[in-house]
Amino acid sequence: MSGGLTSRCEQLAGGFAKLVIMYLLKLCQDIQKLECYLPLLENLVHHINSNGKNRQVICWILNLKIRWSSVLTPSSIFHLHGPKFYQVDDMYFELGMMLFLYGALIRERALEVLSSDMVQSATLFRKAAGVYSYLAQQVFNNLSWTQERPPEATPSVSFVMSLICLAEAQAVTAKKAEENGNTGGLLAKLHCGVKEFMVEAINILQVATKECKDVPSRLLDFMLSCRTLHESMSYKYLVQGLKNDGKIGMAIGYLRWAVANAKQNVPKDEPWKLVYKQVIDDLTGLLQKYDHENEFVWHEKVPFYDELPLPLQQAWTVLLGGSSALKNNDIAVCLSEFFLAQILLLERGADIE
């Protein structure tokens, strides 16, 4: 009986492995097809623009009836015949949606290889961020507003996706740094960087909801969950560094605030709840340990949160050379600053190679 169950489990595991391999091959093939198609499409758009006032060209574009559905638009009970389609009679719309799909597939590929190759995963996340940044600056800014368009076809959403991908690349760097044995301040800065990217993405998304009312709430929920999670992780490593420096009272003050903040921002989705529970348990365990040690050994005064400095925000500002929050029109400069920050971190011992 046991042998039969073992054999059946092995068959299921083998079948699942084959499905994963087939999915990855299909994903790679789709990316390769887009990489062949996109240069041709961009060349076509360029030639159409050079003859933009030609009536025959205008009629030809109108007859194409370029339509796309949206994965971001919430389903509606009024769309009984399938998803809502958006028609925009502009070749920039076709180019933009294809590039958005390309960025999404690269990001999906980065997620798939994360468990096996963190270096490649971080590289792919940054590549996807570059695609979305180019999309926002060079493509959708040329798209007319005369017709309703999906959330994916707005510059703000592309900027948001670019920041999310940068945050995910930073998170991979933090994970690799942790595996390499880095602790304390370095990991605190890395997780704080993820949080700062998410904060900026949230701010831009709030602007996007004014441009396009179809932006889904679940995207905001995802970013809020990521922000709070990595903020909690940054405090976890910050207090370890403070404790090693003999500042246990300050460490306890940050821990008390971090635990309270994490408990107030528990996400709705079950998978996120499990991750949050682990982080809250880790913070609570550290707090109990430090409280007990301070009570019997150090007897340091524990400051209230409003009496504490803001080392994480200050550290991130110093790390990026004093730059403030990312702005839409400065995205290229900030991307350069991000990569410079990565180099500085790698030189300090967080080499992801």
Give, for 39, the enclosing helix (H) or strand (E): helix 2-50
In a domain? residue 106 = yes
Domain shared by 305 and 157, yes or no: no
| Whether residue 327 has pLDDT greater than 60 | no
Identify the pLDDT of residue 110: 97
Say how many domains are in the chain.
2
Residues 136 and 194 in one domain: no
- 306-319 tens-digit pLDDT: 888 865 554 444 34
Do 190 and 174 share a domain, yes or no?
no
Whether residues 211 and 257 fall in one domain: yes
What is the structure's pLDDT at 185?
Answer: 82
Domain that holds residue 203: 182-319
Domain limit, last residue, from 180, 204, 237: 180
Of 113, 66, 109, 58, the C-alpha closest to 87 is 66
**Residue 257 has what pLDDT?**
92
Per-residue pLDDT at 353 exceeds 50:
no
Q: How far apart are CA 151 and CA 213, in angstroms?
A: 8
Are 297 and 311 in the same domain? yes
Query: How many Å apart are CA 234 and CA 340, to the nearest integer?
Result: 20
Mean pLDDT computed over 242-260 = 92
Average pLDDT of the segment spanning 158-185: 93
Would you say residue 33 has pLDDT above 70? Answer: yes
Say which residue, 160 or 331, is predicted with more confidence. 160
Quote the tokens at residue 180: 């390499």
Residue 331 included in any domain: no
Whether the pLDDT of residue 13 is over 90: the answer is: no
- Average confidence score pLDDT of the chain: 81
Judge whether 82 lies within some domain: no
**Reported pTM:** 0.82
Band of pLDDT at residue 213, cut at 50, 70 and 90: confident
Q: Is 88 exposed, middle or buried (0-12, 13-18, 19+ CB in 10 A)?
A: buried
